[in-house]
A = this chain, B = another copy of it.
Amino acid sequence: MIHFKACLFSHLEGSNLLSLEVSKEFRTLPKEKLAIAIPASIVSDTPHLREKTFKIGLIGRAAAVFRVNEIIIFMDRPRQKQEKELKLISTILAYMETPQYLRRKLFKLTPELRYAGILPPLRTPHHPLTDKSEDLRIGEIREAMVVSTAEKGVFVDVGVEKPVFIPEARLKIGRRVTVKIIQRNGILKASLTKPEETGEYWGYIVKAYRLGLGQILKKRKFELKIATSRYGKPLREILKQLRRKWRTAKSVLVIFGSPREGLYEIAEQEGLSIDEIVDFVVNTIPKQGTKTVRTEEAIFASLALFNFLLRT
């Protein structure tokens, strides 16, 4: 039995999770789960929404290129309310992750999405380009949304011109699910499935917390937590240890600082030392030519290194 969660962008009252359940909270994650954590202020030094959108788009792309399963957004400025930034970043990231044919159905065109048109496509396996029912293959797995209910099942939109019937399913209209095509002739039919079955990278979930990094790390367990910082240990020094840990860890979190403040400063504001709340603080860009490396730049650089050095 697979659970599905319905709420789209509802603020869960009394909770610190700014919920973005457009994505798949209850899905089983792949065996090696890779998450990244980014601060809410990543776009605070970019005045216009248009460039903010572009920058968030880069982060979504980086996540997809390097098969990230979850993006966590944390509050890094305890004295400011960062709700607006949390909502902006999480909405755009979740929108990008949604296949094109479901976007308008699952998202209201809120002000955050004003410049969504400039977002680059993810081009992941779960964003298929075919849109004709005759091109569907038996066994093909697609993201879908429930569009109507019947006595003996539900109809879903899988991005072709006709709805697809899922026998025996009971789901609310508007739910996003993953389905496998089981019949092409006559009435189109599909069954519910899990993204893991595809064996392919199937997008990321987004979680925006109304919490600082330290508080999140108390609530969420990761077997390996890596902070990236210019003042961290050189990657070369800790590579062996890191590799040993990564190979056995079922969940890995890689944490990035903001353009203005590194993770040492961000943790300090919570009265914490970053060295104590993560397993490694690492500098992945020896001899950087610039004084600072921006978050989106650090994500591409660090994930490229981890992808090559630790995941293959």
**Which of A21-29, A81-89, A118-126, A135-143 forms part of the interface with chain B?**
A118-126
* Minimum Cβ distance to chain B for residue A80 (Å): 22
- In the assembled complex, 28 residue pairs joining A and B whose CB atoms fall closer than 8 Å, in A order, are A51-B54, A51-B118, A58-B58, A58-B297, A61-B290, A61-B294, A64-B289, A65-B290, A65-B293, A66-B289, A67-B287, A67-B289, A123-B290, A123-B291, A124-B291, A201-B289, A234-B312, A235-B308, A284-B304, A285-B307, A286-B308, A287-B307, A297-B300, A300-B300, A301-B304, A304-B304, A304-B305, A305-B308
Q: Ordered nearest first, which 5 A-B pairs have the shortest CB separation? A: A301-B304, A300-B300, A201-B289, A123-B291, A67-B289
Q: Does residue A244 face the partner (Cβ distance < 8 Å to B)?
A: no
Q: Do residues B51 and A297 form an inter-chain contact, with CB atoms below 8 A?
A: no
Q: Does residue A243 face the partner (Cβ distance < 8 Å to B)?
A: no
The 0/1 profile, CB within 8 Å of B marked 1, for residues 123-154 of chain A is: 11000000000000000000000000000000
| Residue from A288, A289, A291, A305 with most neighbouring chain B CB atoms (10 Å) | A289
Which bracket fits the contact residues of A?
Answer: 35 or more
**Besides the known contacts A61-B290, A287-B307, 20 further A-B residue pairs in the complex with CB atoms under 8 A apart:** A48-B118, A54-B54, A65-B285, A65-B289, A65-B293, A65-B301, A67-B289, A123-B291, A124-B290, A234-B312, A284-B304, A285-B307, A285-B308, A286-B307, A286-B312, A300-B304, A301-B301, A301-B303, A304-B305, A305-B308
Q: Does residue A50 face the partner (Cβ distance < 8 Å to B)?
A: yes
Q: Do residues A122 and B290 form an inter-chain contact, with CB atoms below 8 A?
A: yes
- Please name the residue on chain B nearest to A291 by beta carbon: B123
Q: Do residues B287 and A311 form an inter-chain contact, with CB atoms below 8 A?
A: yes
Q: Do residues B61 and A123 form an inter-chain contact, with CB atoms below 8 A?
A: no
Q: Which A254-312 residues have C-beta < 8 A from chain B?
A: 284-294, 297, 300-305, 307-308, 311-312
| Chain B residues, CB < 8 A from A124 | 289-291
| Chain B residues, CB < 8 A from A308 | 235-236, 284-286, 305
* Minimum Cβ distance to chain B for residue A43 (Å): 12
Q: Do residues B65 and A312 form an inter-chain contact, with CB atoms below 8 A?
A: no
Q: How long is the Cα–Cα vector from A308 to B242 in the complex, in angstroms? A: 15
Q: Do residues B297 and A65 form an inter-chain contact, with CB atoms below 8 A?
A: yes
